[in-house]
Structure 1
């Protein structure tokens, strides 16, 4: 199993990690492993594209129907003589 050393960790962050680990009754090392696992597992499982994510977010509200503006005929190309 690999080991990681983190240098220059902010004291306040270290205290928050210690408190969080203490609240859960685990070691700080275990808490850091859990945080890394959760962060990296969520990232790799999110394979949905942006459009699908937006659609899923608004689906409970019934979706959105937008009116498309009418289109006119294509203009003739300019002639430069």
Structure 2
């Protein structure tokens, strides 16, 4: 798993991270991972698939004919 080193972190930032980690019952390293995960993947992000499914439900869905066309494909012609 990749590792990241953060240099020149101000002492008061480090103390605040340690305090926050203790409040959440985690190590400082685990708290930093949680902060980074939330920053790049917020829990309230819009999930396209879920939104499309909800949209379909609101409008009663669609009736699609999903039968496959059994006609053989024509071979490609290169001229």
Gaps of 5+ in 2: 48-79
SS of aligned partner of 1:29: helix
Partner of 2:21: 21
| TM-score after normalising by structure 1 | 0.51
How many residues are treated as equivalent by the alignment?
45
Moved over 2 A (4+): none
Aligned twin of 2:36: 36
Query: Alignment partner of 2:15: what SS?
Result: helix
Structure 1: gaps of 5 or more residues: 48-81
Measured in 2, the distance between the counterparts of 1:29 and 1:7 equals 14
RMSD: 1.5
| 1:55-78 CA distance string (max 9 Å, x none) | xxxxxxxxxxxxxxxxxxxxxxxx
Quote the residue 1:5 is aligned against. 5
The TM-score with structure 2 as length reference comes to 0.53
Larger fraction in helix: 1
